[in-house]
Amino acid sequence: MRRAGAELWIGLAAAALVAALSLLPLLRLAVEAVDPELVRKTLSSPAVWRALGRSLETSLGGSVIALLLGAGFALAVGLTNLPARRMLALAVMLPLLIPSQIIVLAWIELFGPATRLLSLLGLGVEAGTTNPLYSAQGIMLLLGVEQAPIVFLAVRAALLATPRDLVEAARCAGAGGGRILGQIVLPLTLPALGAGFGLAFVACLGNFGIAALLGIPARYATLPVLIFQRLSGFGTSILAEAAVMAVALALVAGLGVLGVTWISRRRDSAVIGSASGADPLRFDLGRWAMPLGALLLAAALLMTAIPMAALAATSVTRAYGLALSSATFTLDHYARALAVPQTARALWNSLWMSGLSALLLAALAIPCAVAGLWARRRPVRRLFGLLGFVAELPYALPGVILGIAAILLYLRPLPVVNVTLYGTAGLIVIAYLARFMPLALRPVQVALLQVDRVLDEAAQAAGARYRHRLVSVAAPLVLPSAMAGALVVFLTAFNELTVSALLWSRGNETVGIVIYFLEEGGDTPGAAAVSMICVAFVFALAALATWLLPAPARRVLPWGR
Amino acid sequence: MRIEIDSVSRVFGGHAAVDGVSLTVGSGEFVVLLGPSGCGKTTLLRLIAGLEEPDGGAIRLDGRPVAGQGPFVGPGERNIGIVFQSYALWPHMTVAGNVGFALKVRGLPRAEREARIARALAQVGLQDHGRRFPFQLSGGQRQRVAVARCLAMSPPIILLDEPLANLDPNLRGAVLREFRQMHRELRSTFVYVTHDQAEAFALADRIAIMDAGRVIQFAPPREIFEEPRTAGVARFVGSGALLPAELLARTSEGRMLVRVLGHQAVVRCAGDMPTGSGMLCLKRRDVALHRTWEPGLIEARVADLRYQGGGEIAVLALPDGQEIEVELGRAEPAPAMGARVGLSARDGWVIPGAVAARASEAA
Ligand SMILES: Nc1ncnc2c1ncn2[C@@H]1O[C@H](COP(=O)(O)OP(=O)(O)OP(=O)(O)O)[C@@H](O)[C@H]1O
Ligand SMILES: [Mg+2]
């Protein structure tokens, strides 16, 4: 039976690869952290507890703000007749495309001198006083802005999935708009609100860029920042302790992940009836529609677009501290930043590392999805179900956890080949593969579920070998989705900071690292210039891909729905 | 409560889903809207409910204008109960919560609310299920909850949109009987949408046959079956043949001499039917079989023979390819397969043919 042989062989290889990438580092981390003596020593440090407390505090605060912003905008866009709702939705989702370290820089510049934006409102920061963003509240605010799109998308999807019948039945029962909102529509979106809150919370816990750029100047370190500071201060000698801290963070995040899973599996939240694909309610705001719409649009633009404009202004103003005018305009910062070999190298590094990761993951996702979903044997399907869950972990859990785990696993030379990956670009690529695998795998699985298995069975009946069917039946059908998944991986990895902050070494810097150190070193205009280059590149690529991808695959992109 | 629909139209993006429909449903009447998929039944029902606003025409309930004349009256103020095809049960409320929602909206005191909920649930045989959630019920039970929710308000008008479509075929017969009984007891006005003829004929006092947004016939089931107004209705409701006929002369009130495929017969027709050309609708019991064909009879061939319901049935192919079934007498020996036989018309119904179907029909 050579056919069954190929199926088994390809399936096992795919499974082994996923396990090696995702499971092995986490197991290695767990092994390191079970030593009771070590746990006692680490947890006896008040700094660790303080950092954990701060992580919880900022994450809760940040996800509450994200919930208010995301749900508020989703309800406004979904349930009212505000003007320019589409533009509003786009403005709210903008933070999805801009990495958090750049959003932080942009917000700092919002209070900064180049545009004097806030001084116009009387809110400007006087020279010599500290920017109010360097505080716990500042971190929470920016975490909230960063995560608002997650909640927005969850609530928006729930509103669109609400069957129109349910609202019409309430209207026939005589219920007015307020009662329908409070007793029908909101209860039905409650699971989405809960899931959105949980996702935002877990994402906030893992955030590094915002917490580091705002927290370090304020001497307010969250757990990921503390781990980073200890590692950069003491090097790998502190690794065991860092592992315990990472596991502590993983446990808290794990609770959040479990909460999200529980909410989305609850049976009474399963809606009976067909989704309308249209918004269930449309409140007529009357003469309030115009002013309210303008207010909300201004608020949404204030979240990202206006700070980005301030950052752009800083990047073209001759000296920091001056206001932008025709006299102070200059492109020197761009020329200066690119002239530094480190910056050019980092741009190239980020480009090839994330490009390679995206391609490898797309190539791995297809056989993995096929082996899991089209397996004839039940145990094989279950094995892949389990692997799918394992593959989610490095992405769902905070990035520092994977970072520490990868260092632990690859610090020593690999057996047999005797190559040390620690300190090389290879380690960063391997970490990217583990961390972003779900982003590539999910779209392919979704696409494959929509393909009728009959197509495969027909090819099988025609005598095609497994390998042949994989290449000529399954792969072409899911290729657009795999490409869209690869694009999401590329865009996410290109701007990545958390994992590379732990794994970079001289010569292997990423753009995220370079921006971070430029800002930390006080070269704000330089950081602004590199940020603008990154954002322009990402937007151009996203726009080009959205335009080139076929419609069904476009849905994979968060902004494509 | 009487429902008057007066040349009502509803247009979606240039396409009229309901196109100038006029219809009066008497108080306490059971009316079924019957027609093929996409003909506008649901839209008409939603117009009556107030879930759609007409683009033209007017609707009155017991003489009170609710749409098209004066201010639009929303669904909450029309005093209607509605059962959706999907049942539209609120998943986050218990069965009792679903049934009592409208009572709560009206601000009824708790004790009365509970009494009414209990009564409505008892009416559909779900007394003990008040505390369950919809996801804990079977499909049939969900359908009953939807009916109970509609009954709780004792509305004078009850609208049902294909309430049996999602039910097991075994359950349908029982539920149909319950609907009839419910109608007899409540004396509410029922408007019931379906595309299933058997359901329509089993339930209706009158059936409105719809096609492409128009009502093409509105009459009691017997009349719909025996005197279809257009070829479309005839094809939609009954097995039989439609043959081109020359309408020769009126013989008496409601009868006419026609020639069809070389055969002459006196058949039924509408009182105002002009002579000329038209169509003859022939059903199984309208024709008599002759063993051999001779001039003056309709020529036919035996295409199939089968035994059904205590008698032998011959399926006869007419020259134009249409088929008609004839029941053979008990003692009669069956003709051979493929044999050439003759048919004569004992009766039949004349339809104005070749002429376009006549537009909507008022009651
Ligand atoms: N909200 C709407 N927007 C646009 N077109 C609509 C809408 N509702 C109905 N239509 C169109 O109006 C026509 C009539 O629809 P309707 O739902 O009333 O048909 P129906 O007779 O109930 O069909 P079915 O038996 O399939 O339920 C259809 O062509 C449908 O596509
Ligand atoms: Mg319908």
Q: What is the pLDDT of residue B157?
A: 95
Angle at CA of residue B165, ends B229 and B52, nearest 5°? 70
Superfamily name and number for A46-313:
MetI-like (1.10.3720.10)
Please compute the mean of the pLDDT values over residues B214-227 and round it to a whole number.
Answer: 92
* pLDDT tens string A498-542: 999 999 988 889 999 999 999 888 888 899 999 999 999 989 988
pLDDT of A547 reads 83
Whose structure tokens read 């509970």? Answer: B114
The rounded Å distance from CA B28 to ligand 2 centre is 23
**pLDDT exceeds 70 at position A125:** no
Indicate yes or no: CB of B74 within 8 angstroms of CB of A272: no
Over range B213-229, report the average pLDDT: 92
Domain chopping of chain A, boundaries: 46-313
Check residue A489 and give its pLDDT: 92
- Lookup result for tokens 């027609």: B35
Tell which B residues from 150 to 169 touch A, by Cβ distance under 8 Å: 153
DSSP strand pairing (B189-194 vs B30-34): parallel
Q: Is B42 in the pocket of ligand 1 (CB under 6 A)?
A: yes
- A188 with B91: Cβ contact below 8 A: yes
What is the pLDDT averaged over residues B111-137? 92
Q: Cβ of B75 and A168 within 8 Å?
A: yes
Task: Verify whether ligand 1 is closer than 6 Å to residue B12 (CB atom).
Answer: yes
Question: Of the bound ligands, which one is closest to the alpha carbon of residue B208?
Answer: 1
Enumerate domains of chain B plus CATH numbers. Answer: 3-226 (3.40.50.300), 231-362 (2.40.50.140)
Residue B71 makes CB contacts below 8 A (sequence gap 6+) with none
Q: Do B142 and A170 count as a contact with CB atoms less than 8 A apart?
A: no
Dihedral angle computed from the Cα positions of residues B304, B305, B307 and B310, in that order, rounded to the nearest 10 degrees? 120
The nearest alpha carbon in chain B to A191 belongs to B92
> Residue A338, SS3?
helix
Q: Does B9 score more than 90 pLDDT?
A: yes
> Ligand 2 center to residue B42 CA distance, Å?
4
What chain B residue is nearest to A166 in terms of C-alpha separation? B88
Which of A142, A405, A389, A146 is CA-nearest to residue A250? A405
What is the SS3 assignment for A277? Answer: coil
Query: For residue range A390-439, what is the model confidence (pLDDT) as tens digits?
Result: 888 898 889 999 999 999 999 888 888 888 888 889 999 999 999 999 99
How many angstroms is it from B18 CA to the middle of ligand 1? 9
User: What are the tens digits of pLDDT across the range B263-297?
Assistant: 999 999 988 888 888 899 988 888 888 888 888 88
CA separation for the pair A128, A109 (Å, rounded): 15
Query: Left (φ > 0), alpha (ψ -120 to 50) or beta: where does A286 sit?
Result: left
Do A168 and B106 make contact, defined as CB atoms within 8 angstroms? Answer: no
Predicted pLDDT at B359:
37
Rounded CA-CA distance A474/A367 in Å is 9
As a whole number, mean pLDDT of residues A258-278 equals 64
pTM, rounded to two decimals: 0.80
Closest CA of chain A from B279, distance in Å: 44
Q: Which residues pair with B289 in a beta bridge?
A: B343
Q: How much is the pLDDT for B360?
A: 36
pLDDT band (50, 70, 90) for residue A13:
confident
pLDDT at A334 over 50: yes
Instruction: Examine the pLDDT at A460 and tell me if it is beyond 80.
Output: no
Average confidence (pLDDT) over B195-224: 93
Helix (H, G, I), strand (E, B) or coil at B140: helix
**Measured in whole angstroms, how far is the alpha carbon of residue A560 from the centre of its chain?**
16
What ipTM was estimated for this complex? 0.81
B87 to chain A: which residues are within 8 Å by CB? 272-273
pLDDT band at B224 (very low <50, low <70, confident <90, very high): very high
A positions 190-229 inside 8 Å of B (CB): 190
| Cβ A231 vs Cβ A238: under 8 Å | yes
Residues A406 and A24 sit within 8 Å (Cβ to Cβ): no
- Looking at the predicted structure, is the pLDDT value of residue A226 above 50? yes
Give per-residue pLDDT as tens, B42-96.
999 999 999 999 999 999 999 999 999 889 998 989 989 999 988 899 988 999 9
A269 vs B: CB within 8 A? yes
pLDDT of residue B356: 33
**Best residue of B66, B98, B135 to probe chain A, by most A CBs closer than 10 Å:** B135
CB atoms near residue A306 (< 10 Å): 19
Atom 29 in ligand 1: residue holding the nearest Cα: B38
Provide the shortest C-alpha distance from residue B86 to chain A (in Å).
5
Closest approach of chain A CAs to the CA of B44, in angstroms?
A: 15
Ligand 2 ion: nearby residues, β-carbon < 5 Å: B 42
pLDDT at B355 over 70: no
Nearest CA in chain B to A274: B86
Pocket of ligand 1, candidates B10, B43, B197: which has the most ligand atoms within 8 Å of its Cβ, to mutate?
Answer: B43
Bridge-based pairing state of the strands B206-211 and B64-67 = unpaired
Taking contacts as CB-CB distances below 8 angstroms, the residues of chain A near B148 are none
Whose C-alpha lies nearest to ligand 1, atom 31? B38
pLDDT at res. A271: 52
Residue A179 at interface with chain B, using a CB cutoff of 8 Å: yes
Put simply, the answer to whether B92 touches A188 (Cβ < 8 Å) is yes
Q: Which of A165, A170, A171 is the closest to B86 by Cβ?
A: A165
Which of helix, strand or coil describes residue B138? Answer: coil
Task: Write out chain B residues lying below 8 Å of A174, CB-based.
Answer: 76-77, 102, 105-106
Q: Read off the pLDDT of each residue in B173-178 and give the average, rounded to a whole number.
A: 87
Give the C-alpha separation, A175 to B90, whole Å. Answer: 14
Is 70 exceeded by the pLDDT of residue A114?
A: no
Please give the pLDDT value at position A136.
93
b/e burial code for range B323-349 (CB count within 10 A of at least 16 → b): ebbbbeeeeeeebeeeeebbbebebbb
Task: Determine, for residues B105 and A267 on separate chains, whether the beta-carbon distance falls below 8 Å.
Answer: no
3-state SS class at B11 = strand
Q: What is the pLDDT of residue A521?
A: 87
The proportion of chain A whose per-residue pLDDT surpasses 90, expressed as a percent, equals: 33
Whether chain B has a CB inside 8 Å of the CB on A185: the answer is: no
* Residue A558, pLDDT score: 67
Ligand that comes closest to the CA of residue B36: 1
Q: Residues of B numbered 58-117 whose beta carbons fall under 8 angstroms of chain A's beta carbons: which are they?
A: 74-77, 80-82, 84, 86-92, 101-102, 105-106
- Is the CB of B40 within 6 Å of ligand 1? yes
What pLDDT does residue B339 have?
87
H/E run at residue A372 = helix A341-373
What is d(CA B150, CA B171) in angstroms, rounded to the nearest whole number?
20
Question: Which residues on chain B are in Cβ contact (under 8 Å) with A173?
Answer: 76, 101-102, 105, 153
Would the CB of B37 count as within 6 Å of ligand 1?
Answer: yes
Q: What are phi and psi of B292, to 5 degrees?
A: -125, 150
Is A174–B106 a contact, with Cβ atoms under 8 angstroms apart?
yes
Q: What is the largest CA-CA distance in chain A?
A: 79
pLDDT above 90: residue A227: yes
Strands B56-61 and B255-260: unpaired
Here the tokens at position A422 are 């620690």
What percent of chain B stands above pLDDT 90? 50
Strands across the sheet with B64-67, in order? B15-25, B3-12, B56-61, B64-67
